[in-house]
């Protein structure tokens, strides 16, 4: 059977491997031994446990007061009859205290085996709890992990201490390509307990990841001289970052971009060539919207603050710039400023090529479809063709197939 010293030595070695500090180790040992005592003796308040984990020493002492064999208290847990006491020490007398050492072997083989398993389980539980709280405090911070397994829905990584981290497909940039052994930078997105095990989920698509990359690359952001007011992203495609400086001597946009783009280039590379627009934040809503739609130049706008909508008017050659490739520019600008942005062509002073009124197509396009286009200010063939498919789908309540058919009809007109 395990002796107390063997049990404590093996447990102490195991606890040290798991980075459990000495006071915690002693507390776990005492808790387990007190549980053993309560199982055997029902109570533990008249027992002392002395543990020296460094030497592997364990002493358990039971204290009882000697009473007369006929005493009413003889059945109390902290009393012992004189006849029992003198078996331990012949010259004991009534009223004295008996200190009796209890050996671990006295608890029986099953109890000692249970204690060993309980000690190991308690350390494992503590290790999981420590890991959970460590990463809970790191939520929103960048960490580095190494890829050790590629699965269909997620990538498993390990940190420097061998702990498992998870990077789901949904939190990866769609251009990310990882191989086993690659190092990956991401933020701790969330930490949760699943069946008693900490699940640490990372993200590379979160706006917070981009914000942290700016903190790493731009000292003024890290030091708080420049504040990041808002970040919006279409991961791997485009992002807009609104920045503000409280020091008039610091140009926040210039500081974030760096000399010849030196600071922002490393961020762009990390994000798989994500196109990042850095703009000056302002409380002037009109100016903020104009900056958000950069590089397009706006000629006029009408703001509906109550419904959080804004109509912007641009020269025909600026419309595609405002919308951007895949509609990303206008989508991100809307999210950045918190307004739904509708784009209209400003034809004033512009020499307009020959156009065709939508009503001319009444025999090919149903009236209710024409009315829907008119509702958003598109009343001619070229006003519709000037917008991307994505923009037309976003602004109208029409099915994609319907829009595609209308565009086809209008294109055929000009091909004639």
Question: 4-128: what CATH class?
Answer: alpha beta
- Pairwise CA distance, residues 410 & 364, whole Å: 10
Q: What's the average model confidence in pLDDT over 368-389?
A: 83
Pull the structure tokens for residue 25: 């180790």
Q: Are 379 and 372 a contacting pair, CB within 8 Å? A: no
Higher-confidence residue: 69 or 172?
172
Find all residues with CB under 8 Å of 290, minimum gap 6, and list them.
Answer: 298, 301
pLDDT for residue 350: 47
**CB 206 within 8 Å of CB 239:** no
Mean per-residue pLDDT, 227-240: 95
For residues 155 and 184, give the distance between their C-alpha atoms in angstroms, rounded to a whole number. 10
Cβ proximity of 153 and 201 under 8 Å = no
What are the tokens at 84? 């029992």
Q: Do domains 4-128 and 138-205 have the same CATH topology?
A: no
Question: Residue 74: CB partners within 8 Å, gap ≥ 6?
Answer: 67, 68, 81
Average pLDDT for residues 14-32, to the nearest whole number? Answer: 81
Q: Which fold has domain 138-205?
A: OB fold (Dihydrolipoamide Acetyltransferase, E2P) (2.40.50)
Task: Give the Cα separation of 349 and 303 in Å (integer).
Answer: 23
Q: Look up residue 314 and give its two tokens.
A: 């641009």
Of the given ranges (231-235, 384-388, 400-404), which has the lowest mean pLDDT? 384-388
- Provide the 10 A C-beta neighbour count for residue 300: 11
pLDDT over threshold 50, residue 1: no
Which run of H or of E encompasses 264? helix 262-270
Question: What band does 352 get if pLDDT is binned at 50, 70 and 90?
Answer: very low
Mean pLDDT of 89-94: 87
- Please state, rounded to an integer, the average pLDDT across all residues of the chain: 88
| Domains of the chain by residue range | 4-128, 138-205, 358-415
d(CA 168, CA 180): 15
Residue ranges of the alpha helices (H) in 326-388?
328-337, 367-375, 381-385
List, for residues 201-229, the tens digit of each pLDDT value: 999 999 999 999 999 999 999 999 999 99
Q: pLDDT tens, 263-286?
A: 999 999 999 999 999 999 999 999
Is the pLDDT at 321 greater than 70? The verdict is yes
The DSSP letter of residue 325 is G
- CB atoms closer than 10 angstroms to residue 302: 11
* Confidence category of residue 415, pLDDT binned at 50, 70, 90: confident
pLDDT for 348 equals 62
- CA-nearest of 256, 313, 263, 246 to 279 is 256
Residue 4 has pLDDT above 60, yes or no: no
Residue with tokens 């939520």: 139
The half-sphere exposure of 362 on its side-chain side, counting CA atoms within 13 A, is 5
Residue 113 pLDDT grade (very low, low, confident, very high; cuts 50, 70, 90): confident
- Model confidence at 311: pLDDT above 80: yes
DSSP state of 227: E
Q: Pick the closest to residue 5 from 101, 117, 100, 103 (CA basis).
A: 103
By three-state DSSP, how is residue 115 classified?
Answer: helix
Cβ proximity of 143 and 188 under 8 Å = yes
Of 92-101, 163-172, 339-348, the one with minimum mean pLDDT is 339-348
Give Rg (Cα) of the chain: 37
Q: Closest Cα partner for 209 from 120, 126, 289, 272? A: 272
**pLDDT score recorded for residue 308:** 92
Average of per-residue pLDDT across 67-79: 87
């Amino acid at each position: 059977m395990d002796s107390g010293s063997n049990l404590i030595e093996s447990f102490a070695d195991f606890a040290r491997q798991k980075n459990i500090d000495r006071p915690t180790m002693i507390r776990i040992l005492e808790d387990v031994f007190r549980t053993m005592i309560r199982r055997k003796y029902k109570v533990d308040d008249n027992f002392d446990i002395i543990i020296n984990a460094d030497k592997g020493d364990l002493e358990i002492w039971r204290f009882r007061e000697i009473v007369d064999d006929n005493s009413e208290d003889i059945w109390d847990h902290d009393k012992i009859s004189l006849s029992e006491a003198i078996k331990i020490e012949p010259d004991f007398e009534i009223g004295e205290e008996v200190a009796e050492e209890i050996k671990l072997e006295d608890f029986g083989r099953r109890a000692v085996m249970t204690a060993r398993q309980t000690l190991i389980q308690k350390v494992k539980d503590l290790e999981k709890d420590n890991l959970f709280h460590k990463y809970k405090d790191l939520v929103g911070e960048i960490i580095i992990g190494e890829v050790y397994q590629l699965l269909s829905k997620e990538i498993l990584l390990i940190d420097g201490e061998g702990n498992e981290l998870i990077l789901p497909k949904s939190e990866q940039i769609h251009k990310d390509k990882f191989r086993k052994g690659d190092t990956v930078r991401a933020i701790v997105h969330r930490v949760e307990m699943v069946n008693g095990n900490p699940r640490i989920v990372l993200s590379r698509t979160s706006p917070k990841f981009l914000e942290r990359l700016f903190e790493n690359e731009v000292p003024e952001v890290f030091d708080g001289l420049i504040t990041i007011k808002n970040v919006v992203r279409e991961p791997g495609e485009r992002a807009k970052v609104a920045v503000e400086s409280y020091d008039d001597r610091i140009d926040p946009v210039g500081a974030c971009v760096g000399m010849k783009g030196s600071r922002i280039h490393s961020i762009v590379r990390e994000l798989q060539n994500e196109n990042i627009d850095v703009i000056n934040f302002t409380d002037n809503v009109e100016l903020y919207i104009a900056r958000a739609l950069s590089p397009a130049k706006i000629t006029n706008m009408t703001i509906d603050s109550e419904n959080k909508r804004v109509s912007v008017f641009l020269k025909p050659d600026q419309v595609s710039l405002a919308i951007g490739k895949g509609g990303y520019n206008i989508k991100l600008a809307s999210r950045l400023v918190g307004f739904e942005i509708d784009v209209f062509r400003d034809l004033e002073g512009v020499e307009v090529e020959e156009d065709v009124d939508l009503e001319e197509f009444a025999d090919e396009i149903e009236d209710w479809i024409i009315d829907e286009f008119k509702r958003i200010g598109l009343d001619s063939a070229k006003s519709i063709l000037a917008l991307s498919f994505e923009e037309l789908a976003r602004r109208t309540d029409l099915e994609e197939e319907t829009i595609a058919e209308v565009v086809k009809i209008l294109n055929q007109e000009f091909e004639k």
